[in-house]
A and B are shown apart, each in its own frame.
Chain A
Amino acid sequence: MVAIDYTTALPGDRSPRARRVAFGLAGLLLLTCLLSLSHGASGVRLDAALDAWLSGDAMPDRDRLILWEIRLPRMLTGVLVGASLAVGGAVMQGLFRNPLADPGLVGVGAGAGLGAVLAIVLGGQAPAWVAAWLGWHMVPVAAFLGGWLSTMVLYRVSTRAGRTSTATMLLAGIALGALAGAATGILVYIADDRQLRDLTFWGLGSLGGASWPKIAAAGPVMLLALVAAPFLARGLNGLALGEAAAHHIGLPVQRVKHVAILTVAAATGAAVAVSGGIGFIGIVVPHLLRLATGPDHRYLLVNAALLGATLLLLADLIARSIIAPAELPIGIVTAVIGAPVFLWILLRRRGLVDM
Chain B
Amino acid sequence: MLTINDLKVSLGSTPVLHGIDATAVAGRIIAVIGPNGSGKTTLLRAISGDVPYQGRIGLDGVDLAALKPWELAARRGVLPQAATLAFPFTVAEVVRLGLTSGTQAARPDLIARALEEVDLTGFSGRYYQELSGGQQARVQLARVRVQVWDPVQNGRARWLFLDEPVASLDIAHQIGVMRVLRRFADGGGGVVMVLHDLNLAAMVADDVWLMHDGQLLDNGPPGTVIGGVGLAAAYGCPIMANRLPADSATFVLPHGLWDTRTADEAAPVSRFQAASVI
Contact = CB atoms under 8 A, between A and B. Distances in A.
Interface of A: 4, 6-7, 10-14, 97-99, 163, 234, 237-242, 244-245, 247-253, 290, 294-296, 352-355
A11 B88 CA distance: 15
Nearest to B91: A12
Nearest to B90: A12
A238 B89 contact: no
B97 interface: yes
Chain A interface secondary structure, helix, strand, loop or mixed? loop
A247 B49 contact: yes
A248 B78 contact: yes
A252 B88 CA distance: 24
B113 A6 contact: yes
Nearest to B116: A4
Contacts of A295: 86-89, 93
Contacts of A296: 89, 93
A240 B86 contact: yes
A249 B73 contact: yes
Nearest to A96: B86
B260 interface: no
B93 A13 contact: yes
A14 B48 contact: no
Interface stretch (B119-127, B191-199, B270-278): B119-127
Contacts of B93: 12-14, 294-296
A238 B96 contact: no
Contact of B85 (A14, A163, A241, A253): A241
B77 interface: yes
Interface residues of B, number: 46
Interface stretch (B30-38, B98-106, B202-210, B234-242): B98-106
B85 A355 contact: no
A247 B72 CA distance: 9
B73 A294 contact: no
A193 B219 CA distance: 80
Contact of A290 (B70, B72, B85, B87): B87
Contacts of A234: 100
B88 A10 contact: no
Contacts of B69: 247, 250-253
A245 B129 contact: no
B92 interface: yes
B250 to A, nearest CB: 32
Contacts of B74: 250
A163 B84 CA distance: 10
B85 A240 contact: yes
> Which one of B48, B73, B97 has the highest number of Cβ atoms from chain A below 10 Å of its Cβ?
B97
B83 interface: yes
Nearest to B101: A250
19 contacts: A4-B116, A7-B109, A10-B112, A13-B93, A97-B87, A234-B100, A237-B97, A241-B97, A245-B80, A245-B83, A247-B50, A248-B48, A248-B77, A249-B101, A252-B70, A253-B69, A294-B90, A354-B87, A355-B129
Contacts of B100: 234, 237-238, 249-250
Contacts of A253: 69
A249 B147 contact: yes
B111 interface: yes
Contacts of B108: 7
A231 to B, nearest CB: 13
Nearest to B50: A244
Nearest to A2: B121
A317 B89 CA distance: 35
Nearest to B98: A249
Contacts of A244: 45, 50, 78, 80
Residue with the highest number of chain A CB atoms closer than 10 Å, among B87, B88, B93, B109: B87
Contacts of B125: 10-12
